[in-house]
Amino acid sequence: MNGNIESKEHISRRLGISASFVIFMTTFIDMIGFGMIIPILPFHPETVGAGALALGILIGSFSLMQFIFSPLLGRISDKVGRRPIIILSLFFSAISFVIFGLADSFPLLLISRITAGMATESAVAQAYISDITTEKERSKGMGKVGAAHGAGFIIGPAIGGFLSVYGLSTLGFVAAALTLVNLLFAFFFLPESNSKANFNIQTNSDGYWRRLGSALTKPLIGAVFLILFVTTFAFSAIPVIVPLLGIAYFGFMELEMSYFFMYIGVVQILLQGILIGRLAKRWGEANLIVFSSLIMTLGILYMSLFSNIFVFITSLTMISAGIGILNTVLPSFISTRTPPDEQGGMLGVTQSVGSIARIPGPLVGGLVAEFAGLNVAFILSASLVLIGFILGFKLLRAHKFGEQ
């Protein structure tokens, strides 16, 4: 059993609504709020006035907080349960949007992004899915959560682009109200999934981190984390350098930038919601990890070499598909190789590896684009993903990481 309340495949229904539906909807609505804000950041007066580096700082600070809080919240959810952590995260997420709505200076804008990063609940949501699915169904379950992310990224930017004409304060307050509705939905309908949750459970922090350290020294986990780090580092520059390219070469404004993020969501929901389960069954998770690195490399490289709108869309499709596969398969790949009572913590560490990469990624992307040019920034990102592909391919094959 995997720490779920009733069975591996199903959890009890509360008021006729399944737990899987509630966690998918909670993730979906949470990503709507996130998607409303992100496309508008390059156009915020405090960002425009401070330059590309400021945009990198805003995005990087969010990832820094994710790095700090994701494993902490994941481990706490192993101890006290998934439900209270998800609800608490939604509460602080609402606060971050209120601060965004009130922000009339760069420090306040930065505080809003820091608070949003502290409110990360992705690792806990993934652990929730691990609780209520079998190993065979886990990729499919993670794919549905990824699809919820993608769907939120379709709706969120659309709402954000529309509301931006009414002012950024309105945008922030609407996102906060939506998040509060999400909090109430989770509060009334989301059951606990972790039967081993116990407030009085004795936790040995040192022993826990020793166990995690031991897992990370295994070639399998190390290889996967290496791929995760370099590809995430490269992809984290995309929200900085791609909008800059869109503004410079295509004249994108808030609405067009929202379409750009919407398209990422469309690609990911089609991939993660429909195809990823079938692909994982046919080709295996290890092969999909390597394949995602390859198509990301090609997509980033093409975008830098051929700056026209057709290649822009094609490249964006490849990049979105690559990161979508990676973000879906990696948590499933790692969770199936982790003891059930450590999955929340390990998935938190997995997210933190990505968060570490996302801290310098936006800063480096912005600096390189500003001082060396956009083409150099794209080529640098493609080179990083290529390194991950080559090293990951060799490590996966050398240690027989393919699905048995």
What span, in angstroms and rounded, lies between the C-alpha atoms of 222 and 396?
Answer: 10
Cα-based torsion angle of the residue sequence 318, 324, 327, 328 in order, rounded to the nearest 10 degrees: -130
The CB density around residue 249, as the number of other CB atoms within 10 Å, is: 13
DSSP code of 14?
A: B
pLDDT in tens, the chain (404 residues): 444 444 433 444 545 567 778 888 888 888 888 888 888 887 777 666 666 778 888 888 887 887 788 878 888 888 888 889 999 999 999 999 999 999 888 899 999 999 999 987 777 888 888 888 777 777 677 777 777 877 777 888 888 888 888 888 899 999 999 999 999 988 888 888 776 655 444 444 554 456 556 656 767 777 778 888 888 899 888 888 888 888 878 888 878 888 888 888 788 777 876 788 788 888 877 788 888 889 999 999 988 787 788 888 999 999 989 988 888 887 787 777 777 766 666 776 777 777 788 888 888 988 888 788 888 999 999 999 998 788 767 766 765 544 44
DSSP secondary structure letters along 154-186: HHHHHHHHHHGGG-HHHHHHHHHHHHHHHHHHH
Q: Which CATH superfamily is domain 19-194+210-398 in?
A: MFS general substrate transporter like domains (1.20.1250.20)
What span, in angstroms and rounded, lies between the C-alpha atoms of 135 and 318?
Answer: 28
Least Cα distance to 327 among 347, 303, 343 occurs for 347
What span, in angstroms and rounded, lies between the C-alpha atoms of 279 and 150?
Answer: 18
Query: Three-state SS across 309-351?
Result: HHHHHHHHHHHHHHHHHHHHHHHHHHHCCCCHHHHHHHHHHHH
Angle of the 135-163 helix axis to the 168-189 helix axis, nearest 10? 150
Q: Which residue has the tokens 């040192």?
A: 206
Burial label, 158 (beta-carbon count in 10 A; 0-12, 13-18, 19+): buried
